[in-house]
Chains A and B, each alone.
Chain A
Amino acid sequence: MSTAPGASRSAALLAFRLAAATLASMPLLLVVLDIINQSLGPDPGQEVTETLGLAAFQLLLATLFMTPLQRWTGWSGWLRIRRMLGLFAFFYASLHVLAFLQFILGWNDLWATFTKRPYVIAGAVSFLLLVPLAATSTRWMMKKLGRQWKPLHRSIYPAVVIAWLHFIWQARSDVGEMVVYGVIVLGLLALRWRWFGPGSLIPFKRA
């Protein structure tokens, strides 16, 4: 067998991964541009925090879309960008948490904020669920965890549901956007259920 088709395949995959990385970087790029242009309005801290949080949530959803896309298209390339998207989601979530602490709280009132505000608690729980996933995303950790890796990484399902709660809890009157996101989340979970059974949605359960 000649090496040419394999090489062009891997070149195409590299281009695909680069495109995905560029797309996933866009929200950050746009925020940075807005900061430089000072076009964030009179309350830039709020704006930056919200933008980063929404980007984290959208990338979590994108991560969950890869398996359905692979099954619908029969192309395994989607699965090759899944880890990267997940790490981008965690990256945005981390920036979002830092922005919230710095711009919204100013590192004040921490105890009350994290014990008394349900939407903040939901956000914190969702973020904490993502930490072990990011920490065990390397090939080495995958190997080390072996058959435990997959059950652990199912924590992404409660994380995304709780993240959605974090948003809907903040809506003051117009819930349209979050209803749409809620339908997407439900759809993604329903697909998993249908394809892999209910056990595939439960963290730490050996399916």
Chain B
Amino acid sequence: EALDYVAMPGFSTDEEKTPYDDVTRYNNFYEFGTGKGDPARYADEMSVTPWSVVVEGECDKPGTYALEDLLKPHDYQERIYRLRCVEAWSMVIPWIGIPLADVLKQMQPNSRAKYVYFETLHDPEQMRGQRSMFSTIDWPYQEGLRMDEAMNELSFLAVGLYGKTMPNQNGAPIRLVLPWKYGFKSIKSIVRIRFQEERPRTTWEMLAPQEYGFYANVNPEVDHPRWSQKRERRLPSGLLSPNWIETVKFNGYGEQVAHLYKGMDLRKFY
């Protein structure tokens, strides 16, 4: 379904966009299997209408919001962001959505809200990856941000891409997009938002804390223990002409976000 939106040149890039077919057929969405093609194959087993989001914790407007009500007050924007996966590949994707800050303000977080926690749908009937006996993930998928990160102008709640409604495999009907962080922070198919005082533990952090930190900012200076993060393959990449590019700190968004981490040792808080 085509969406109405306003282009946001200030939040875009001239870099070549990754074609729609690649964006929608090469995904990490372990709820539907660990193969890159699994989400495109099986995400149709998930129903996204109706959809509601539970809002709870340290805010004045908790409750269960129908997705339409959550989105209604806002105009859609198009932002063309780089997406850098922790696995050392990257894409350029035109997202459609609304700033995360606008939605969170609607819920009126109070002064004890230091962090915001997000959760993906947990429904093994619709998500075959959650039925896997050998998965080491403790579902549901969980993510979190510090409040100032969440309120940053780059933080985006996407409901579509390439001008159209979000395909299920990309995290329909609503997902986070945090372009300065590794892709796994951009949680998909969100059903719960919680404001809280203590820092949430995230799914990948619980699984392998030495590999995946809470912050997960793109940083070529801090290697993943199993591979280097200095470079990335910008997709689509050719077999004979691999599209290697140098990875940039904060994925090139340092101007907007570097101040959030002033004084922090990013080797320690990776």
Contacts and interface: CB of A to CB of B under 8 A. Distances in A.
Contact of A106 (B132, B135, B244): B244
A45 B237 contact: yes
Given A103-B242, A119-B226, A173 B237 contact: no
Interface stretch (A21-29, A51-59, A110-118, A135-143): A110-118
Interface in A35-79: 35, 40-46, 48
Given A35-B239, A40-B239, A170 B226 contact: yes
A108 interface: yes
Contacts, number: 75
Interface residues of B, number: 34
Interface in A159-174: 169-170, 172-174
Contact of A173 (B19, B30, B227): B30
Contacts of A41: 22, 25-26, 36-37
A173 B135 contact: yes
B89 to A, nearest CB: 6
A172 B136 CA distance: 9
> Interface centre among A42, A48, A113, by most B CB within 10 Å?
A42
Interface stretch (B76-84, B192-200, B228-236, B261-269): B228-236
Contacts of A176: 132-135
Contacts of A116: 223
Contact of B136 (A106, A109, A117, A173): A173
B152 interface: no
24 contacts: A40-B239, A41-B36, A42-B19, A42-B235, A43-B26, A44-B239, A46-B89, A103-B239, A103-B242, A106-B242, A108-B244, A113-B227, A113-B228, A117-B226, A117-B227, A169-B226, A170-B226, A173-B30, A173-B135, A173-B137, A173-B207, A174-B30, A174-B34, A175-B134
The 9 lowest CB-CB distance pairs between A and B, nearest first, are A176-B134, A42-B236, A42-B22, A42-B235, A174-B34, A44-B239, A174-B135, A173-B137, A173-B136
Given A35-B239, A46-B233, 18 more contacts: A42-B22, A42-B235, A42-B236, A43-B26, A44-B238, A45-B239, A109-B228, A113-B228, A116-B223, A117-B225, A119-B226, A169-B226, A170-B226, A172-B34, A173-B34, A173-B135, A174-B129, A176-B133
